[in-house]
Structure 1
Amino acid sequence: MTLYYTLVFVLLVAEMSIFGMLIVPLPYSAKRKLFTFISESPIVAKFQYGMKITFIFILILFIDSVNRVYAVQMELSKTKKSSNPGMMEGSGRMEVQARKFYSQRNMYLCGFTLFLSLILNRTYVMILDTLRLEEKVKRYEGDPKASGKDSKRLDQAGEAGEIGKLKNIIAQKDKELQAMKSQSEGLSREYNNLGDQMTTKDGTPKKDK
């Protein structure tokens, strides 16, 4: 296995370990502190940014491995259809089969690494949303521990995700609606002023001189 595929395998093992840590049942307070630290740590943010770039390279490796698998498969099919069946005997057949095996292995390795990265991201978001909902339930129940700094940080971390994006979109739409209302009121005033100028006091239209 080449160096970059070895690094991909190491990353896959790391993702499996992180996924196992995420699904391990922990006490609520410990889980809240852990995810608060992950959401606010600048080191973790830089690490996540670097991992996004790494996954782009892994996607390139995945596409390359798919092309290699397709090329080897086409080579096998052409050899089987050729007039000389002896070409698929001995060391030549073993060499083609080995290239097919390595190409498929690299394809599965990169594919599972990318797929597990999506699962990790979604699992993290779901756990964060669950913690926020549990925090709200504890507030409704009157738990004094649910109004601390960690709960506020979890709310801010949740707003930084999908819910925060939706709130920003709604706020922007509200601003646009207010601007349209102000424009409509201005046009209505101008229309009324123009109507007053075009009519006389007794309600009859003014005649042009």
Structure 2
Amino acid sequence: MTLYYSLVFLLLMAEMVLFMLLIVPMPYSLKRKMFTFLSESPLIARLQYGLKITFIFILILFVDSVNRVYRVQMEVSSFTHGNERASVVGTERLEVQARKFYSQRNMYLCGFTLFLSLILNRTYIFILDILRLEDEVKRMKGDPDALKSKDSERLDNAAGAGDIGRLKKELSKKDRDIEALKKQMEGLSREYNRMGDQVSPQDEAPKKDR
């Protein structure tokens, strides 16, 4: 196995370990802290950027391996069904079969690495959504431990990527504006009542003098 395919194999093993860490059961608070760190750490962000470039090269290797498998398969078919069947030397046929095996191995290796990267990405986003929804459910139930915290806000920001996240942010902003208007109206109402109470005794005083 060449060096770059060995690196692809190591990356596949790392993805498998990371997937197991994502799905292993753990306490809610520990999981929230871990995913908050993953979503906010600048080191993890740079690592994700580097992995995106790496997966582009793996995609190129996958396309090349598919092309090699196709060419070797055509060569094997010509040996099997062509007119040269009787003149094929045994060692040459073994060499073609070996190249077919290595080409298929490289194709499966790159393909599974790319496929598992997509699974990891979707699993990570789903877990962020689940943590955010669990925070919202606990806050609706009045759990004091589930008050709005920086970790929850970070999870909201991490899970709020894309158009859906943008709409959710706009909706939450409008809700905060409505709450601010309600508080302002309550303050104006209290001030109006206080002013009314101060004016009423002054109006009653001249009536008593009469």
TM-score normalised by L of structure 1: 0.77
Find the aligned partners of 2:166 and 2:3 in 1 and give their Cα distance: 39
Q: Name the counterpart of 1:98.
A: 98
Cα distance, 1:150 vs structure 2? 1.3
| Distance (whole Å) between structure 1 residues aligned to residue 44 and residue 11 of structure 2 | 16
Match of 1:113 in 2: 113
Shift of 1:86: 3.2
Provide the rounded CA distance (Å) in 2 between the counterparts of 1:101 and 1:135.
51
- Superposition pairs for residues 61-100 of structure 1, below 5 Å? 61-100=61-100
**1:138 equivalent in structure 2:** 138
Q: Is the 8 A contact 1:79 1:87 kept in 2?
A: no
Partner residue in 2 for 1:164: 165
Residue matched to 1:27: 27
Contact preservation (8 Å) 1:35, 1:128 = yes
Answer whether contact 1:87 1:93 (CA < 8 A) is retained.
Answer: no
Q: Which amino acid aligns with 2:112?
A: F
How many residues matched?
170
Structure 1 residues 165 and 101: CA distance shift in structure 2, 3 A: farther
The corresponding residue for 1:36 is 36
The aligned residue for residue 202 of structure 1 is none
Sort the Cα spacing of 1:169 and 1:50 in 2 relative to 1 into closer, same or farther, 3 A. farther
- Give the superposition deviation at 1:61: 0.2
* Separation in 2, partners of 1:12, 1:127: 21
CA contact (8 A) 1:79 1:88 kept: yes
Distance 2:135 2:31 in 1: 12
Q: Is the 8 A contact 1:80 1:88 kept in 2?
A: no
How far, CA to CA, are the matches of 1:169 and 1:6 in structure 2?
A: 47
User: In 2, distance between residues paired with 1:83 and 1:160?
Assistant: 60
Residue 165 (structure 1) shift: 4.2
* Structure 1 SS opposite 2:26: coil
- Is 1:11 the counterpart of 2:32? The answer is no
Instruction: Tell me the amino acid that sits aligned with residue 141 of structure 1.
Output: K
Unaligned runs of 5+ in 1: 171-209
- RMSD (Å), alpha carbons: 1.8
Query: Quick one: percent identity of the two aligned structures?
Result: 69
CA deviations 1:154-173 (Å, max 9, x no partner) are 11222235632455899xxx
Opposite residue 145 of structure 2, the aligned amino acid is K
Structure 2 spans left out of the alignment, 5+ residues = 172-210
- SS of 1:25's partner is coil
